[in-house]
Copies of this chain bind each other. A is one copy, B any other.
Amino acid sequence: MPEFLELLPPPDALKVLLSHIIPEPQTEQIETTAALGRVTAFSVNAPYSLPTFPRSTVDGYAVRAADTFGASDSLPAYLTLVGEVPMGAPAGLSLTAGQCALIHTGGMLPDRADAVVMVEYSQSARPAEVEVLRAAAPGENVLKVGEDVVAGQEVIPAGVRLRPPEIGGLMALGLNRVSVARRPRVGLLSSGDEVVPPEVELGLGQVRDVNSYSLGALIEQAGGIPVRYGILPDHSEALRVAAARALGDCDVVIITAGSSASSRDLTAAVIDSLGRPGVLVHGVDVRPGKPTILAVCDGKAVIGLPGNPVSALVIAGLFVVPVLRILLGLQAGRPTPRLSACLTTNLPSQAGREDWVAVRLQESPQGYLAEPVFGKSNLIFTLARADGMVRIPPEATGLEAGQVVEVYLS
């Protein structure tokens, strides 16, 4: 696994990585009230139709539509009022020709009623008599049985991230438990002799571990569980033992290397020793993040990220998040939230390499403006000052001021 012999473009590198992963889909059944953001393990089929009974969508009179044909302000249809439909109970009524029943929105249609006349289009001069001033078509102001969903119909496919409407839909069907993909566990190891935990006083020459936490938050956001294994010295055996333990416990392992080339080489050698086939890609044609290591060890993704916090987050977005999507069984369907914006300055870039640039968005009368936030990839606050990232594709030699770009929101 020599570094940088061949730099793969990010999409090709991802394809290589994903092709070697052997996902072991594991599911769990949880309360629907706790399922927001979780991913369906199986498709959900309606146990019965919704609505379960024909319902009125307005306040008015349930009628047999034919009895109202031809009715108008000047020539009302005179119907006999035979009762009122109770809310939350069977209608308990059946209409014969010339009859109607008072009904409220959401009430159940009486037997043989097939339409509802809105109360606004009726009047009543005598008790037990209703004058209908407008004809109703059969089915008018009525929700039919199964108009929302039909018994047996697939209502939520497998691999869908549950949003508020799906949570409501499951409850409408009485499904207060739902099978979802287990959240993948992602082991996080930091290496580098200069890296110390956040809680200690910094000595000269030391920096705090940022990546275990920024990456942990990204993993959480993507639906995984971050498991932190702490900071390992730049020492092959210590790193190997910790990584092997993480690989045993987790579904994915991420090692952020120290900043120096020797620390990265050591990380690559350790990863390669963890299982078959080992390191697949060492070096990706992207900035920031060139010294990325992609490996699969015995079916599980092991990813070596550059130690620079900006590079680590960008690369995790490109490779770790897609791996989590595969492990969660997420369908490709849903689009990534992004915004179109107008670039404020030229962004040069090297042809053949994919670049990601942090931008800050500003509203203007013409729409959003995207202003690059320049900063070296060692500077975490570059990203904290940005709203999202812009991709400069490899075929471009840069982007021009005034160009409309897609901003991927972070």
Q: Are B384 and A260 in contact (CB under 8 A)?
A: no
Give min CB distance, A73 to chain B, whole Å: 22
A258–B55 Cα distance when bound, in Å, is 13
Give min CB distance, A190 to chain B, whole Å: 11
Return the contact of A335 from the options B32, B209, B212, B387 (Cβ within 8 A): B387
Among A104, A156, A205, find the residue whose CB has the most chain B CB atoms closer than 10 A.
A205
Give min CB distance, A345 to chain B, whole Å: 19
Q: Please indicate the chain B residues that have their CB under 8 angstroms from the CB of A309 in the complex.
A: 165, 168, 172
Q: Which residues of A contact B (CB under 8 A)?
A: 32-33, 36, 50-53, 55, 57, 59, 86-91, 104-108, 143, 147-149, 155-156, 162-176, 192-196, 198-199, 201-218, 220-221, 234, 258-263, 307, 309, 313, 334-335, 337-340, 361, 363, 368, 375-376, 378-384, 386-387, 409-410
Q: Are B203 and A89 in contact (CB under 8 A)?
A: yes
Q: Are B90 and A204 in contact (CB under 8 A)?
A: yes
Specify the chain B residue showing the minimal Cβ separation from A211.
Answer: B168
**Contacts A149-B381, A381-B148 given; does A193 touch B105 at CB 8 Å:** no
Give min CB distance, A335 to chain B, whole Å: 6
Return the contact of A259 from the options B105, B149, B218, B409 (Cβ within 8 A): B105
Q: Are A221 and B57 in contact (CB under 8 A)?
A: no
Q: Are B205 and A91 in contact (CB under 8 A)?
A: yes
Q: Are B313 and A148 in contact (CB under 8 A)?
A: no
Return the contact of A214 from the options B167, B209, B210, B262 (Cβ within 8 A): B167
Q: Please indicate the chain B residues that have their CB under 8 angstroms from the CB of A86 in the complex.
A: 193, 205
Q: Please indicate the chain B residues that have their CB under 8 angstroms from the CB of A169 in the complex.
A: 210, 214, 380-381, 383-384
Q: Please indicate the chain B residues that have their CB under 8 angstroms from the CB of A380 in the complex.
A: 148, 165, 168-169, 172
Q: Please indicate the chain B residues that have their CB under 8 angstroms from the CB of A201 in the complex.
A: 174
Q: Are A218 and B90 in contact (CB under 8 A)?
A: no
Return the contact of A313 from the options B164, B198, B204 (Cβ within 8 A): B164
Q: Please indicate the chain B residues that have their CB under 8 angstroms from the CB of A234 in the complex.
A: 87
Q: Please indicate the chain B residues that have their CB under 8 angstroms from the CB of A220 in the complex.
A: 36
